[in-house]
Every structure is written in C-alpha cells, then in structure tokens.
C-alpha cells in the first residue's frame, strides 16, 4: 500500500481531515524529477493557523517561481493524527505530493512564537530526522526564520541555519548555494560554511559560547577558521514594489483563522513602542505604492474568489495614502461585494474617512490598542497616544455606525501599578459613554466592547529586554482586580491570558543554548502545542527545568544590568543596542520619543544600504 493510501486510511479517524488532504485550488504541483531542489516549508502549528500566515504565502510563491525548485507545505499534525502516524509508522509528509519530509533537500521552518518550539522537535521526530544537528549525516538541512530567529539560541543545537530579516531574497540565496554545494559533491559541513557567507544567514554550529561565573553570557564568537562573521546582519528588502508577492493564493477547503486576502501595504514601523519586538526588528518602514496594491488586489480577487481584503501591516492606519487607497479599493470591488478591512489601529490616527469607505460594504469590529490604562504608563511604553485620541477614534466609529470595539491592553508592563490597571476599566467606561453620546437614531444597536489584556513578555531586541517579567502572583492579583472592575460595566467583556504560558514564553524569549536540554526533556515528557490552552502542561515544563538544572526565573523575572552581554548580541536586527538602552533609560523617566518620520531618532537602521531613503 502506498504512503498516500495509508494516509487516506487515517483521515476518517481524526478531527478535521481537511488539514491533511492537500489538493487545494492554486496549490503548486511540479514534476519532482524536473527540479534540482525540493524545499519543505514547515509551519509548526495546525493547518488552519499556518495557512493564515502571510510570510509562508510569500515564500511559497517566491520559491515556486524558480524553475529549478519546488516548495511544498508541511504543518504540525494535531495530537490525534500524530499519535496515529506513530502507531502506523507514517512519517511526516508534505501536502502537495505527500512525500516524506526526510526526503527533501531543505526544510524551512518559521519561528513565529516561542511556544511552538516543541512542535519543531515533534516534527523532526515524526519525520525521522535526528533532533540534534550533530547527529545528522544526511537528510534535509534545517533552516529557521521569522521574528523568533533574532534569538534562536535555545534552538541552536537542533537547527543548521538561521535566516535573519526579510526572507524573499535570502531564501533564494540559500537554495542557490545549495545547488552549488550539491553540484560540487562537497561534505555536509561545507554547505554550512558556504551558507554562512550569505547576508542574513547565521550558522549556530560555527560559534562558541562562553559564560561568566554568575551564569550570564561572556561572549558568542565565531570558531577559529570557520569564516563566520563576528556579527550577522539581517537581510533587508529595500523596495517592496519590486519584491516578489503572490498573485495567487491557495484556497483551503475548510475554514482557517484568516480566510481572506491579506495584502501587505507596508512593512516596518516608525512609532517605537518600547514593548514591541516587531516594531524594532522589521524597521525601516517601506511602503507599496497604490498602483502596485491595486494590481495585486485585482489579481488576488480574480484568482481566489475571496470576498474580503485585509490591508495588512504593523499599523495600517499609518499608511501615507490610506484614505485614497481605501476609496479606490471600495470603488473597484464594491460591485463584487468584496469587503475592505483594517487590522488593529493606532488610536491617534484620523480614521474617519477610511472608516466611511470601508463600511460601505460590510462592517467588522473596530480594533484599537491603547496597551496601557493611564497616560503615565503609555508614556513609559512610548505609545504616543492620549485618552483624547482614543475617545475621538471611538466616537468617530460609533458615529459612522460601528457598535463593536475591541481594546487591547497588557498587564505587567515595566513600572505598572494597581492604579494603572484600574485605569483600563476607567477607559472602557469612557468608551462606553462615547457610544451613548451618539443620538439614538444614529447609533447602531448592540454595543459590544471587548477588553483583552495579555501578560507582558519582555522580548529581545526591544528597550524592555532589560526589564523583568512581573511575578506570577502579582499578575494573577491584577487580573482579578481588573476583572472585578470591568464586571460593573454592562456590555463590556473581559478576556485575559493565563500567566503560566507567558512565563514560559519569557524564559525562551530571553534564553540561551542551555535551555535546549530542558526543551527536549519537556517534549519527551509530552509537551507539544504549548500555545494551545488545552494542551499546555505547565507542570511538565517545571519538571523539565528541574531535571535539567535550569532556573527559569534566571531568564524570565531577573532584571538585567545595563552592561550584560545578551545571548543574541551577535545578531544585528538593524536597531543598535545603544539605541535600545537609551530608550530603556527614557522609559524609566516616562519620556517619549517621537515618530521617526518626524525626524531621525538614531536607531541605527541607516547603516543598512537603502534604509530610510528620503528621510
């Protein structure tokens, strides 16, 4: 019986068999004998999560545009499917051709979230690929990229290459170098040394790590004779208009998290929120022009049949021509009932014109992110918005017919007090009053305000990388304090995250290579899908730390001195450590830094050719 037939026999025994079927509209099929390089792209989570990820769509398109390469998709099987695969000896497979993953040349893995790290080990094991790089004599080279790649040290023993920064061009270079290596018939280690010369590629095995007596990192240095750079600078695409972007998207048979066209209108952010890793590592800001966006939208609507276009970026309200873009898109697609939607918005952006345009087809909930409940704390995190900004934004929305608003906050931000937390409830009450300030005949019925409060996780490459995470008991107490205050407000719902998951996330966000053993131990005890509340096993994680001699508080809740060497200091995200330290000092003074579009703030990005041109 063929592997494909054996897979088919399992599908009636698992939840959501559509996750494993493949064969979707616009999936790319090629002759495996007609390509030089076969590339498996693994998203280490379920199909419906991975198929909603824009980066995977971009790289899938970029690789498959090469006549000599074929990129196929791989997702983490849910626990029921994984257990059946182990029982029946079925290896992890690609969706397009159902080829075992260990038969590919390259295995690319996106690192979007620290709590998916054990899924990477699970995938390697299901594929029959040795977990540790040093134990692999053959099989695919493992390449990781994405935001968590800027501190990949906990995964260092398990991977071959780390791709830093924009992947459109550097991914192609890793494939081209692989072809050269393969044609030359060189030893496996030679590919690692060759790849280390590609801008943005970090090869962990070519570096040594030394530690101080107190357990902190002393230095991360290239091994003698390795040829690896002292500091690895991220890859950057300067011109998004000229960058590859898919004009066809795979259309799933079943529901996924974001089942719509995602159109990236710009990349990067100029705001400088001090908690936000993405706002630092994706600098500088680069916009796509309206003609390019309209062309892509036309192609994507025609090739997919989707009825929604989401205008994607870190802060879509900051797109310089947003009202004009929204107007043109609504005019172009209204007759086809295609909705134009905006993700989470800056609350100081004037959105009235854009809201008027996008609501002409259908309304969705307006999503705003004040992040903190008081002006003092918003200044600490450099949010750069005021209570008046929020009230103006929601009043405009309610006046235009919105009745549902989602407000995002964090608990545990540096210098936070109980008063700051209660300020969240105060803001929610004022938003509620804005709704009732609109004459009854003009406001939409059914007010719904959702307050969502995540737990702050200090991230590498941010000004708050020196800050400790708030201790567990205080987080729980403040969550309950806020829950009681919000329960007094009719029409307001409260959602919050479990602090235990955020604690483990913080451990790995600022961790080093010594966490690898704990990660492997946790996985062997059964940890997988740690980002899913029904699968997360906090008790097993604590046991794994204990058995491997790791103190998780050393990574999560320990304040960092300003002169500490971080495990990721040899990886250059573009923003300098000196700039981040200046921002940390300003945060402690609750002093704001202006948007760098109003004047360069000296973050360091101008060291990169093509960055910040025209500013």
User: Phi, psi at residue 499, to the nearest 5°?
Assistant: -70, -20
- Quick: pLDDT tens for 225-274: 999 999 999 999 999 999 999 999 999 998 899 899 999 999 999 999 99
- Quick: pLDDT tens for 360-385: 444 567 888 899 999 999 999 999 88
Question: Helix, strand or coil for residue 113?
Answer: coil
- Residue 41 resides in a domain: yes
pLDDT of 310 strictly over 60: yes
Judged on CB neighbours under 10 Å (0-12, 13-18, 19+), 531 is buried
Give CA–CA dist 161/108, Å, rounded. Answer: 9
pLDDT of residue 356: 54
- Where does the pLDDT of residue 499 fall: very low under 50, low under 70, confident under 90, or very high at 90 and above? very high
- What does DSSP say about strands 201-202 and 161-163: parallel, antiparallel, or unpaired? antiparallel
- Residue 328 resides in a domain: no
- Residue 438 resides in a domain: no
Give CA–CA dist 371/409, Å, rounded. Answer: 4
Judged on CB neighbours under 10 Å (0-12, 13-18, 19+), 450 is middle
- Residue 457 resides in a domain: no
Query: How many domains does the chain divide into?
Result: 1
pLDDT of residue 364: 61
pLDDT of 113 strictly over 70: yes
Share of the chain above pLDDT 70, in %: 96
Which CATH number is 184's domain given?
Answer: 3.40.50
State which residues form the domain around 62. Answer: 3-165+167-233
The mean-pLDDT minimum among 49-53, 122-126, 349-353, 598-602 falls in: 349-353
Share of the chain above pLDDT 90, in %: 86
Q: What is the DSSP letter of 489?
A: S
- Where does the pLDDT of residue 9 fall: very low under 50, low under 70, confident under 90, or very high at 90 and above? very high
Rounded mean pLDDT of 56-76?
98
Rounded mean pLDDT of 406-422?
97
Mean pLDDT for the chain? 94
- Residue 486 resides in a domain: no
Give CA–CA dist 235/168, Å, rounded. Answer: 9
Closest CA to 24 of 82, 72, 91: 72
pLDDT of residue 426: 97
Give CA–CA dist 573/131, Å, rounded. Answer: 27
Rounded mean pLDDT of 539-545?
98
The H or E element that residue 398 is part of is helix 387-399
pLDDT of residue 361: 42
The mean-pLDDT minimum among 110-119, 337-346, 528-537 falls in: 337-346
In terms of pLDDT, which residue wins out, 166 or 323?
166
Give CA–CA dist 146/54, Å, rounded. Answer: 11
Judged on CB neighbours under 10 Å (0-12, 13-18, 19+), 302 is exposed
Rounded mean pLDDT of 564-569?
98
pLDDT of residue 239: 95
pLDDT of 293 strictly over 80: yes
- Residue 196 resides in a domain: yes
pLDDT of residue 362: 46
- Residue 38 resides in a domain: yes
- Quick: pLDDT tens for 182-215: 999 999 999 999 999 999 999 999 999 999 999 9
pLDDT of 291 strictly over 80: yes
């Amino acid at each position: 019986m063929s592997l494909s037939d054996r897979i088919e026999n399992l599908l009636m025994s698992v939840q959501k068999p559509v996750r494993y079927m493949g064969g979707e509209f616009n999936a790319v099929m090629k002759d495996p004998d007609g390509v030089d390089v076969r590339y498996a792209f693994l998203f280490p989570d379920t199909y419906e999560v991975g198929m909603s990820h824009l980066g995977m769509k971009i790289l899938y398109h970029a690789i498959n545009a090469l006549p000599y390469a074929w990129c196929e998709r791989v997702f983490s099987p849910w626990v029921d499917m994984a257990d059946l695969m182990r029982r029946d000896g079925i290896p992890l497979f690609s969706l397009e051709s159902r080829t075992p993953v260990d038969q590919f040349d390259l295995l690319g893995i996106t690192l979007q979230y620290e709590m998916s790290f054990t899924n990477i080990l699970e995938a390697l094991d299901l594929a029959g690929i040795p977990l540790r790089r040093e134990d692999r004599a053959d099989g695919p080279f493992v390449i990781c990229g994405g935001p968590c790649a800027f501190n990949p040290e906990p995964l260092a023993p398990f991977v071959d290459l780390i791709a830093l920064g924009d992947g459109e061009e550097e991914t192609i270079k890793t494939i081209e170098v692989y072809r050269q290596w393969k044609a030359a018939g060189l030893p496996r280690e030679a590919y690692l040394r060759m790849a280390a010369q590609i801008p943005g590629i970090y090869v962990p095995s070519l570096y040594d790590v030394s530690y101080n007596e107190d357990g902190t990192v002393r230095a991360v240095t290239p091994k003698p004779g390795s040829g690896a750079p002292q500091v690895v600078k991220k890859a950057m695409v300067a011109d998004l208009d000229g960058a590859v972007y898919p004009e066809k998207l795979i259309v799933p048979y079943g529901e996924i998290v974001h089942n719509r066209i995602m159109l990236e209108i710009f990349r990067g952010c100029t705001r400088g929120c001090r908690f936000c890793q993405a706002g630092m590592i994706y600098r500088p800001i680069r916009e796509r022009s309206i003609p390019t966006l309209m062309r892509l939208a036309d192609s994507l609507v025609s090739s997919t049949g989707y009825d929604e276009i989401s205008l994607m970026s870190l802060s879509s309200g900051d797109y310089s021509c947003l009202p004009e873009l929204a107007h043109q898109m609504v005019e172009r697609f209204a007759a086809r009932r295609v909705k134009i939607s905006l993700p989470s918005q800056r609350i100081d952006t004037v959105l009235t014109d854009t809201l008027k345009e996008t609501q002409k087809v259908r309304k969705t909930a307006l999503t705003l992110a004040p992040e903190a409940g008081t002006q003092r704390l918003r200044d600490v995190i450099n949010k750069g918005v005021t209570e008046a900004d929020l009230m103006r934004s929601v009043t405009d929305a309610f006046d235009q017919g919105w009745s549902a608003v989602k407000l995002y906050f964090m608990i545990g931000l540096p210098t936070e007090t109980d008063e700051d937390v209660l300020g969240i409830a105060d803001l929610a009450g004022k938003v509620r009053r804005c709704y009732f300030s609109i004459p009854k005949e003009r406001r939409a019925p059914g007010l719904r305000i959702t307050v969502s409060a995540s737990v702050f996780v200090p991230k590498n490459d941010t000004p708050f990388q020196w800050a400790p995470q708030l201790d567990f008991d205080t987080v729980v107490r403040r969550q309950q304090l806020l829950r009681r205050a919000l329960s007094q407000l009719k029409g307001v719902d409260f959602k919050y995250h479990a602090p235990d998951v955020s604690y483990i996330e913080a451990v790995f966000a600022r961790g080093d290579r010594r966490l690898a053993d704990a990660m492997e131990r946790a996985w062997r005890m059964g940890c997988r899908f740690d980002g899913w509340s029904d699968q997360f096993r906090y008790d097993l994680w604590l046991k794994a730390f204990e058995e491997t001699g790791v103190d998780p508080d050393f990574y999560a809740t320990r304040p960092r001195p300003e002169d500490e060497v971080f495990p990721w200091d040899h990886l250059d995200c573009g923003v300098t450590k000196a700039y981040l330290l200046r921002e940390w000092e300003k945060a402690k003074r609750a002093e704001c830094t202006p948007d760098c579009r109003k004047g360069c703030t000296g973050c360091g990005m101008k060291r990169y050719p093509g960055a910040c041109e025209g500013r």
